Amino acid sequence: MSQNSADEYTYDVMEQSAQYLLERTRHRPRIGIICGSGLGGLADLLKDRDVFPYEEIPNFPTSTVPGHAGRMVIGLLEGVPVICMQGRFHCYEGYPLWKCAMPVRVMKLVGVTHLVVTNAAGGLNPAYNVGDIMLLKDHINMQGFAGDSPLKGRNDERFGPRFPAMNNSYDLGLRQLAKDVAKEIGISDYIREGVYVMLGGPAYETVAELRLLRMLGVDAVGMSTVPEVIVARHCGMTVFAFSLITNECITEYDCDREANHEEVIETANKRQNDLKLLVTRMVATMSVDTVKPVKNGH
């Protein structure tokens, strides 16, 4: 198939990918999780799991980024069936935005109604510290400003409407649930709530670019998430997303430090136990509204 033609990735093609997964697992997940850089350890918590490398799933792209395992994992998280993307796709890998977000549509056809999206991001808000967890309350779709969108091209009403609304993209109830869970597990001091922006990457931002973004009200900067959220909302999914602040954005010219991917992975590894506990507790609570937990693997 052509890499650049969204029209070739029709509803029927997406259904082939979904059926491939459904025929090879007994689980029927209603909750999907997308793991960002260094956060793939979430998928390792799943019990009774079925693992599908991306290259084996029909019509799937493959992940090329360090810290992304590149596989779909379906299993039980605290007895709740979930489907977990252990590694995602980015436009800087050469993929168009619609292809970066295509797995979300596959999740929809698998039966997912609630999507948890995680990412590693640079902290632009001066009040943020490395290791903080920012709950997304909104985003700025910078690539959308330039006329690019994962929804660009012919619209299929079976996925969603031609002109989907993007206000309230990040569910208020799930953000409150995250705050409650954070309090229960003792990490409230690290919880923030803010606005995320996706830039194309893979180069990190200049000082001037970061200063401009701060003027626009951006709190954290990354290279993912927004296309996936747009497609999820187009599909009618309920979305919760958070950024792990893995590095401090450099907004001064006389600074010798440089942003680097190794720092991102290192911070994610230090925080991974807290993040695993946060997501696990949230999924257990979300399941009350989405799917009945499975006990003892049956």
| Catalytic machinery residues | 37, 68, 90, 92-93, 120, 223-224, 247, 261
Q: Where are the alpha helices (DSSP H) in the chain?
A: 11-22, 97-110, 142-145, 172-185, 207-215, 226-234, 261-290
Task: State how far the alpha carbon of 274 is from the alpha carbons of 137, 149, 267, 279, in Å.
Answer: 21, 33, 12, 9
Closest CA to 174 of 68, 10, 287, 20: 287
> What distances in angstroms separate CA 159 from CA 25, 108, 234, one per listed residue?
24, 9, 7
- Biggest CA pair distance of the chain: 60
Q: Which two tokens stand for residue 94?
A: 């050469």
- Which residue's entry shows tokens 């295509």? 102
User: Are 199 and 205 a contacting pair, CB within 8 Å?
Assistant: yes
**Amino acid identity of 60?**
F
Q: Tell me which residue has tokens 């019509």.
A: 59
Dist. CA 201–CA 214, nearest whole Å: 18
Cα(265)–Cα(106) distance, rounded to whole angstroms?
28
199 backbone φψ class: left, alpha, beta (φ>0; ψ -120 to 50): beta
**CA distance linking residue 151 with residue 138, whole number of Å:** 19
What phi, psi does 220 have (nearest 5°)? -145, 145
